[in-house]
Homo-oligomer: A and B are copies of this chain.
Amino acid sequence: MKQTRERIVAEGVGLLSKSGLAGVTLGVLATQTGMSKSGLFAHFKSKEEVQLQLLDETARIAQTTVIQPAMKAPAGLQRLRVMFTRWLGWSEKAGLGGGCAVAGGFFELDDAPENDPVRQRLMAMELEFRQLLTTLTNDAVKHGELSAGLDVPQFVWEMCGLYLNHHVSYRFIRDPRATKRAHRAFDELVKRSQPAKGKVRAAGRRQ
């Protein structure tokens, strides 16, 4: 059945979130789905195929949990801000039961060979998302909410860092101030990226 495969994938994303790529085992996934290992395996060509499917499904969930709500916000700095807010701890909000599989994969596969398909998929997902952030940041610049001279790649780079930092702080350290810290850092990042107030430029209107 078509929907069995979907059920497996839907179950699997939770396991992936909780246990990481290496923790996704055919046996565990089968048990969790209430199937035999071979019955489950018949739906996929290989374990790698399972991992790729799970990453794709993870991306789909992130799309609806993080990106779509953000795109409903008004373009510019507001949209960027909503994106960041939704981004933090999104896997928990989506009910995955664990952390962000993509962030986890960064550390699991950082030494994997360049042509590893799972690594490549992970890289593609990340670059695509960073591209989106870049676009949103550029929009905020066009709206005059961020400085025209802003180093946009650097801005995006730092924004991604705040997410990673929050992930560790929130999930490993379990610091209750993690989310507050991340927002504060983001606010600082935005503030120092804004055009000079009251100065010569005409593009003034911020926030």
Contact = CB atoms under 8 A, between A and B. Distances in A.
A109 interface: yes
A99 interface: yes
A133 B168 CA distance: 17
B172 A158 contact: no
Contact of A157 (B22, B103, B157, B169): B169
Given A161-B162, A185-B154, A207-B191, A168 B111 contact: no
Main secondary structure of the interface of A (DSSP, over half): helix
Contact of A192 (B157, B158, B181, B188): B188
A28 to B, nearest CB: 14
Contact of A171 (B110, B158, B171, B172): B110
A165 B168 contact: no
A184 B154 CA distance: 9
Give the interface size class of chain A: 35 or more
A164 interface: yes
Interface of A: 18-20, 22, 98-99, 103-104, 106-111, 122-123, 126, 154, 157-158, 160-162, 164-165, 167-169, 171-173, 181, 184-185, 188, 191-192, 207
A123 B151 CA distance: 35
Contact of A99 (B99, B111, B164, B191): B111
A164 B168 contact: yes
B188 A161 contact: no
Contacts of A126: 173
A165 B171 contact: no
12 contacts: A98-B111, A106-B168, A108-B108, A109-B172, A110-B168, A123-B172, A154-B181, A157-B181, A158-B165, A158-B181, A160-B165, A161-B161
